[in-house]
């Protein structure tokens, strides 16, 4: 694969909207009677992986900061970024690689990462049959592997891990990457592949149903990354710095709460966002992500994590050139929130 592949799903869409008008923040009246500021969030998907975001809403942390948030699921990194750039949302919750893809397209109004939510990959290696004894990554060689969509962070983190263990995904595996994200669990359940890279809650659900067995975590193996981050256009942040700070404060409150709360408490706080998922499944997923440190403890995107992200992208052939940390990351809001929010 060559660099023409990098950010391919932004081509055309980004070019058509980089000149979009600056997003304006709407206002309303909060429960206290004081004027509240509306912020429209677009999340790339609905996932237990984003637990602190739902906690910030359900526990009233955004309201405490005088914000009236409107949450929309925008289904996919390309659609999320297109909606952000065209002014359909104010803030995007999506992988940091999307901001790099926009930068590579040459946008005059860059998308800036300002508050990290998750700090590892969120996928797991699931086997169709139980592994006897200790798992060795070399057991994957020659197998049929159902992977994630090419160009997305799950796929890049997955391939980064495989290469770390001396496995060439394209040569050593029968690699399947033409299945849509939403259909991957169904494809595996119906018999496609010996191994699959899955997000939660599908991984835990398959275990409980006896359809698959979690044998490794790509999040643990690929290390800390600015995996899912709140970001906004620079023009929006410049005009609404106070709002961005309040937003980041609310996220920090939620991150603090998640760190100290029990799995049961967290499950109760987010259950209304996953009405079709059994609470025991939610508990299992929250515990798994919490135990492996997937939920970021603060919003700071540090330079080491940023560089690790780019190493993963580079290994996947998705990076034209390295982007300096300061170009697309603004930590001033997260640093202030970490210092002041208790």
CA-based nearest residue to 289, from 121, 94, 54: 121
Whether pLDDT at 259 is above 90: yes
pLDDT (tens digit per residue) in 303-315? 999 999 999 999 9
pLDDT (tens digit per residue) in 6-40? 444 454 444 444 333 333 334 444 444 568 999 99
pLDDT mean over 294-310: 97
pLDDT (tens digit per residue) in 106-126? 989 999 999 999 999 999 999
Q: Are 13 and 82 in contact (CB under 8 A)?
A: yes
Domain 3-120+225-340 CATH (choose: 3.40.50.2300, 1.10.260.40, 3.40.190.10, 2.40.10.10)? 3.40.190.10
- Is it true that 3-120+225-340 and 123-222 share their CATH fold? yes
pLDDT mean over 275-304: 97
5 or 163, which is more confident? 163
- Band (149; pLDDT cuts 50, 70, 90): confident
Q: Are 91 and 230 in contact (CB under 8 A)?
A: yes
Q: Residues 91, 95, 98, 99: is their CA dihedral positive or negative?
A: positive
Domain boundaries, the chain: 3-120+225-340, 123-222
Check residue 34 and give its pLDDT.
65
Q: Are 100 and 288 in contact (CB under 8 A)?
A: no
Check residue 76 and give its pLDDT.
87
d(CA 295, CA 291): 9
Question: According to DSSP H, which parts of the chain are helical?
Answer: 13-17, 51-58, 61-64, 77-85, 97-104, 153-164, 169-172, 184-189, 202-209, 218-222, 234-239, 241-260, 263-270, 279-291, 303-315, 325-328, 332-340
123-222 belongs to CATH 3.40.50.720: no
152 or 234, which is more confident? 234
Q: What is the pTM of this model?
A: 0.89
pLDDT mean over 312-327: 94
Check residue 33 and give its pLDDT.
54
d(CA 219, CA 123): 6
21 or 74, which is more confident? 74
Whether pLDDT at 163 is above 50: yes
pLDDT mean over 329-335: 98
- Band (279; pLDDT cuts 50, 70, 90): very high
């Amino acid at each position: 694969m060559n660099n023409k592949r990098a950010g391919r799903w932004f081509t055309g869409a980004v070019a058509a909207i980089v000149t979009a008008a600056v997003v304006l923040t709407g206002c309303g009246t909060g429960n206290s009677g004081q004027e509240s500021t509306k912020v429209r969030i677009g999340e790339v998907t609905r996932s237990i992986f984003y637990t602190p975001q739902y906690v910030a809403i359900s526990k009233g942390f955004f309201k405490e900061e005088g914000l009236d948030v409107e949450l929309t699921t925008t289904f996919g990194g390309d659609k999320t970024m297109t909606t952000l750039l065209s002014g359909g949302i104010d803030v995007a919750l999506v992988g940091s690689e999307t901001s790099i893809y926009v930068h590579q397209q040459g946008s005059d109004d860059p998308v800036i990462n300002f508050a990290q939510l998750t700090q590892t990959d969120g996928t797991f290696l699931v086997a169709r049959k139980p592994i006897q004894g200790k798992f060795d990554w070399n057991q994957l060689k020659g197998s049929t592997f159902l992977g994630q969509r090419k160009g997305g962070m799950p796929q890049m983190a997955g391939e980064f891990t495989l290469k770390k263990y001396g496995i060439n995904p394209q040569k050593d595996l029968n690699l399947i990457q033409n299945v849509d994200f939403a259909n991957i669990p169904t494809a595996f359940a119906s018999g496609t592949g010996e191994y699959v890279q899955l997000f939660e809650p599908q991984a835990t659900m398959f275990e409980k149903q006896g359809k698959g067995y979690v044998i490794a975590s790509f999040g643990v193996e690929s290390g800390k990354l600015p995996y899912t981050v709140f970001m906004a256009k620079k023009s929006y942040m410049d005009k609404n710095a106070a709002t961005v700070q309040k937003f980041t404060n609310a996220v920090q409150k939620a991150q603090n709460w998640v760190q100290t709360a029990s799995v049961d408490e967290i499950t109760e706080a987010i259950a209304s966002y996953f009405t079709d998922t059994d609470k025991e499944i939610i508990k299992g997923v929250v515990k798994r992500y919490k135990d492996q440190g997937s939920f970021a403890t603060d919003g700071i995107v540090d330079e080491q994590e940023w560089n690790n992200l780019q190493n993963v992208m580079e290994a996947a052939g998705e990076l034209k050139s390295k982007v300096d940390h300061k170009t697309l990351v603004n930590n001033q809001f997260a640093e202030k929130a970490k210092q002041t929010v208790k």
